[in-house]
Amino acid sequence: MDFSFLSEYSGFFMQGAKFTLLLAFFTVMLGSLMGLLLSLMKLSNNKIFKSIASIYIEFIRGTPVLVQLYIIYYGLPALGIEFPDMVAAVITLSINSAAYVAEIIRAGINAVDKGQMEAARSLGMGKSMAMTHIIIPQAFKNILPALGNEFIVIIKESSIVSVIGIHELMYNANTIRGNLFQPFEPLIVAALMYFIMTFTLSKLLGIVERRMKVSDRN
């Protein structure tokens, strides 16, 4: 195997990795906010909100992310709604991630002892205040590992946006393959870079999780 191309193209790989991390970061932020809203809708007593959230979650989880990307990028412009490439990618990945995050958050909220809500209400808190200040912070501590796994999944799934020309890591690796007529080695480099990103993130999340457990014991 010949990896001599790295001396010339290492910066190109790094640029792709930067776009991948940017995509993942904005997707996690937007997807988490949307997921939180959807989980609260699904947990509400309002049948309309609950139905909307349930239909959204089931539909998004039941359709491929590639189809969702094509709908956002190619379908919406036909209706007069057009987004820049990067925005379309973030919106698609966020819409997809939100459906999974919503179920993660819902499970975390349900795992919090019901006595916590009763105690908060007995202190005069309204339901929304108790949810915001008591229940949701505890739920997020419980679901941090699952949210971290979702972040890792997004880093890997972001490679799918290469099909619409986003210059993330996979797109750049394929460009190098085409330029050099080397079908294998650039993919090995890309795989190693994905591994480094996900492994580093998992270790950082492990550190955060351990510190949170220590703070709980104290």
Give per-residue pLDDT as tens, 30-52.
Answer: 999 999 999 989 988 889 999 99
Q: Residue 212 pLDDT > 80, yes or no? A: no
Please indicate, yes or no, if residue 30 is contained in any of the structural domains: yes
Please indicate, yes or no, if residue 2 is contained in any of the structural domains: no
CATH code: domain of residue 81: 1.10.3720.10
Q: Residue 165 pLDDT > 60, yes or no? A: yes
Give per-residue pLDDT as tens, 176-201.
Answer: 888 888 888 899 999 999 999 999 98
Give per-residue pLDDT as tens, 3-13.
Answer: 888 888 888 89
Q: Residue 213 pLDDT > 80, yes or no? A: no
State residue 147's pLDDT score: 82
Q: Residue 218 pLDDT > 60, yes or no? A: no
For residue 10, give the amino acid letter. S
Confidence of residue 215 (pLDDT cuts 50, 70, 90): low
Q: What is the mean pLDDT of residues 92-101?
A: 94
Please indicate, yes or no, if residue 155 is contained in any of the structural domains: yes
State residue 45's pLDDT score: 85
- pTM, two decimals, is 0.84
Please indicate, yes or no, if residue 209 is contained in any of the structural domains: yes
Range of the domain at 48: 9-217
Please indicate, yes or no, if residue 4 is contained in any of the structural domains: no
For the chain, what is the mean pLDDT?
87
Give the distance, in angstroms, between the CA of residue 17 and the centroid of all CA atoms in the same chain: 16
How many domains does the chain divide into? 1
Give the distance, in angstroms, between the CA of residue 73 and the centroid of all CA atoms in the same chain: 19
